[in-house]
Amino acid sequence: MAYMHIGKDFTPPDVPGKVTGRIKYAEDYTREGMVYARLLTSPIPHARVVDIDAAEALAMEGVLGMLTADDVYPDGEPQSTGLKMLTNEPTLVGEPILAVAAVDEKTAETAISRISVTFERLPFVLDPLDSLQPSGADAYNGGNTFVFRQGFAVEKWSADQVASFRAGNEPTAEPQQTVAYGDLEAAFGESSYVYEGTFTNAGYPHHSMEPRSALAYWEDGKLYLHGGSQSLTAFADGIAGVIGVPKEDLVFVNAATGGGFGQRARAGSIPIYGVPAKLSQKINRPVMMRITREEEFTIGGARQGLTGWLKVGFKPDGVMAACDLWMVSDNGGKGGGADAYSAADCVSVLYQADAVRFRGTAIGTNTAHRGAQRGPGQNQIAPIISPILDAAADELGISRFDIRKINTPMTGDVGGPQRTPFTSAYMPEALELAAEQFGWEERQSRRRQTNGSKVIGLGIGQGYHNAGRSGMDGIVMMSPDGRLKVHNGVGNLGTYSYASTSRAAAEVLKMPWERVDIITGRTDLHLPITSPQDGSNSIFTNTRTFYGAAQDMLAKMKEIAAIDLGGAADDYDISNERVHQIANESIGMTFGQVASRAIELGGKYTGSADLPEELAEWTQISVSRLAGTGFMGVFHDSVHEGNPPGFTVSCVEIELDKETGKYEILDLINVAESGTIMHPKGMENQLVGGAVWGIGLSGYERHLYDPQNGMPASTGYWQSKVPTYLDTPVKIQTGWVDLPDPENPVGARGVGEPAQGSVSAALTAAITDALDGHIFGASPITADMIINHIAGTSENSVPLAQNNFRG
């Protein structure tokens, strides 16, 4: 289909501000009378605050006030594992206990040094399997696990059960959760190749470039909060509840966000923004809370660690017959997630196994807060499963490419334990495209070629994440100047989807892009609710809403033209910013004239009547404030059918040095299958960015904790190493299938998350290939691990342990 905007490159309006430094992040703002908050954080991994003596600190000149958990939660802290604004029951080092506001940061810091906090030390634990031991410490005050809607609980295995799992055997304990479909026993019975083994996925920090600093002040009863989030209105909607301010009295200012990869999507992940808000309310001054890199490590969140056992069976023809997964999730000291379940879902989707069983248990440790992080679960399992497919292919005499084609999902298939049908799935096309562009077949002769101590490895991998939601709202406005204003609540975290989704509205109204304004960046510009911008959903979800809002405006344009110019609405069409009769294009009105007339007519044309019944409360507030100010199109999206998948395929060639354990990525391609491509440059960015994350997942990023004191040892960029220019290829190739999805009006789906998983799958497969098929069962695979394997020496770590040098 020939589009005016869809599939075309453009410059999102915030890009010049990013290259000039003009665009403002939260900490770039100042406010007259602004004072500074500093945090006192827990120095020990598990404790209870017995007493706080702040008399000396509060008597200091320049100290304006203090906020504690008792102020924030006068009725007691929520009894859940979620992050708290402040706490008297810290379960990890660095958890905020209290905050002090002062005229400058030195004074605030000095005041904190004069506060005496008496802690009751409590036992701590860093590894979920240690906690499962009969005498193992519990990370939380009420146990070592949290059962949804039931509360804290204690989960213990026998010492033999833990030891057996660490020795590589299938866990025999009762899991907290079991999900299954198909006849597992029969499927394994049909298998001629069965792989069985244990694995670890290390947790690792989010480490956004911009720390979670925030500025808050109150004016005329309204709270103005400057912060960074992935999801502008969805985040604001949630943080209002966290802070306890009515939605209509919150103005969230967030023009740009310095990185968000899951843990900046929802308000529950950043309750710390409530600290400056509540301090400001208490002392009646604007409060800036600057967050250091070390503090960002603690409050910024991290990926769950997974410790697992799996058994995978393949039929003689290469079909994956069965996959049995058992995973213990490391939920850290706060939060948690469904990574383990998502991992099983991903295997079901990507390889269409006849029978799948997932068993899982989630256990807390006194380590960093865990939660969503780019492809939670789907991406951890990708580097574990890919080498197993290769082993099966080699064993069954099938090519590594063909075994993926044999098991590929496609349109008409279902996936996951719920057996949900795909809205569409063009994975076969993606596999072919990646292989062709990379020259996969031609490169096979290079496999395991050696040059001195160096050896070539090749890998191919696939990635998946559900990539679309529905049920959100859209608003577009037009003023008498005829300019289209897209009120967009999608956050600006660097994907430019706030701009790409706006182009769906421009497409409907055939508006030149230079005549379109995107209204965003702060919520007092009256923006509709959107889905949280996570889980690769923004493109699918919000093209639906803005397309719908523009369709509403288009229908109203035709009605107005019919009212003024005669005939029926169906007699009219639009072109060149005019609505005109189809039969005689000279009879018509400019968009500006239509907008003027709409304002005269009022009612439904200006958002004053006949609104969609299911608009969210947030949207209703925005619409009520816009009503009567211009020509409005407004839309509530219905629920879509099926699972809109985001898929990627990657191929990697590496040269691994057996003397150093290091490898260089010689070539890498990352290919997307995410429906219609909205914005090629933006798609490229997602694919290269995901590739870098995949490289980090496979080779570098992990939590390290001091087992003696529970201190985090990976608070910076170099301890949990984020890949740099030198860890990534000189050039990353990209490509995409670009076929439309029928459940989206412009055919688009998202892709951010799988772009990481496929690269990690391919890179780990390439490492395995270079080492003659040795399966580590781990992410990351570090140089030390490679050297140990080559030398035949054992790794100096406890088997299957998390938060140490292996897991």
Partner 1 sequence: MNPQLTRRRFIKGVIASGAAATTTGAWYSATGQDRPSGFVERLIRLNVNGQTRSVDVEPQETLASTLRYKLGLTGTKLGCNRGECGACTVLVDDTPTYACSVLTHSMKKGRIETVEGLESANGDLHPVQQAFVEELSPQCGYCTPGQVMSAVGLLRANPNPTREEARLAMAGNICRCGSYDSYLDGVMRATELIG
Q: Which stretches of the chain bind partner 1, using CB under 8 A?
A: 9, 11-12, 14-25, 27-28, 38-41, 94, 104-106, 109, 112-113, 207-211, 256-261, 290, 292-295, 493-496, 681-682, 684-685, 688-693, 716-718, 722-726, 728, 730-732
Closer CB to partner 1, 716 or 742, in the complex: 716
Closer CB to partner 1, 143 or 375, in the complex: 375
Give the C-alpha separation, 459 to 691, whole Å: 14
User: Least distance in Å: CB of 30 to partner 1?
Assistant: 8
Alpha helices in 566-706 (DSSP H): 591-601, 617-626, 680-699
- Determine what percent of the chain falls in helix, strand and coil, rounding each to the nearest 5: 35, 25, 45
Give the C-alpha separation, 752 to 14, whole Å: 20
User: Least distance in Å: CB of 521 to partner 1?
Assistant: 13
Give the C-alpha separation, 67 to 101, whole Å: 8
Alpha helices in 321-367 (DSSP H): 339-351
* C-beta atoms surrounding 621 within 10 Å: 18
Closer CB to partner 1, 206 or 597, in the complex: 206
Quick one: DSSP state of residue 85?
A: S
Closer CB to partner 1, 254 or 352, in the complex: 254
User: Least distance in Å: CB of 804 to partner 1?
Assistant: 22
Closer CB to partner 1, 299 or 616, in the complex: 299
Per the CB < 8 A criterion, the answer to whether 673 and 755 are in contact is no
* C-beta atoms surrounding 9 within 10 Å: 10
Closer CB to partner 1, 70 or 294, in the complex: 294
Closer CB to partner 1, 427 or 697, in the complex: 697
User: Least distance in Å: CB of 743 to partner 1?
Assistant: 27
User: Least distance in Å: CB of 479 to partner 1?
Assistant: 27
Closer CB to partner 1, 355 or 654, in the complex: 654
H/E element holding 311? Answer: strand 305-314
User: Least distance in Å: CB of 730 to partner 1?
Assistant: 6
Q: Work out the angle between the directed axes of helices 378-396 and 339-351 (0-180°, nearest 10).
A: 40
Which SS3 state, helix, strand or coil, does residue 707 take?
coil
* C-beta atoms surrounding 726 within 10 Å: 7
Per the CB < 8 A criterion, the answer to whether 384 and 201 are in contact is yes
User: Least distance in Å: CB of 24 to partner 1?
Assistant: 7
Q: Work out the angle between the directed axes of helices 538-565 and 591-601 (0-180°, nearest 10).
A: 80
User: Least distance in Å: CB of 108 to partner 1?
Assistant: 9
Which SS3 state, helix, strand or coil, does residue 268 take?
helix
Q: What contacts 24+ positions apart, CB below 8 Å, involve 237-245?
A: 237/267, 237/529, 237/616, 237/617, 237/618, 238/266, 238/267, 238/268, 239/267, 239/270, 239/273, 239/274, 241/267, 242/85, 242/267, 242/268, 242/271, 242/273, 242/274, 243/273, 243/274, 243/277, 243/278, 245/277
User: Least distance in Å: CB of 57 to partner 1?
Assistant: 14
User: Least distance in Å: CB of 4 to partner 1?
Assistant: 20
User: Least distance in Å: CB of 299 to partner 1?
Assistant: 13
Calculated CA dihedral for residues 522, 524, 526, 529, nearest 10 degrees: 60
Closer CB to partner 1, 105 or 170, in the complex: 105
Which SS3 state, helix, strand or coil, does residue 481 take?
coil
Give the C-alpha separation, 183 to 195, whole Å: 18
User: Least distance in Å: CB of 518 to partner 1?
Assistant: 16
Residue 53 structure tokens: 């003596």
Residue 15 structure tokens: 């890009």
Closer CB to partner 1, 22 or 419, in the complex: 22
Closer CB to partner 1, 411 or 685, in the complex: 685
User: Least distance in Å: CB of 457 to partner 1?
Assistant: 21
Closer CB to partner 1, 110 or 608, in the complex: 110
Bridging pattern class, strands 355-363 and 631-636: unpaired
Distances (CA, A) of 790 to 283, 386, 447, 613, 655: 62, 21, 18, 65, 15
> Which residues are registered as beta bridge partners of 463?
648
Distances (CA, A) of 31 to 219, 670, 696: 12, 45, 39
User: Least distance in Å: CB of 9 to partner 1?
Assistant: 8
Phi first, then psi: give them for residue 725, nearest 5 degrees: -50, -40
Give the C-alpha separation, 316 to 323, whole Å: 16
DSSP annotation string for 389-421: HHHHHHHHT--HHHHHHHT---TT-EETTTTEE
User: Least distance in Å: CB of 104 to partner 1?
Assistant: 6
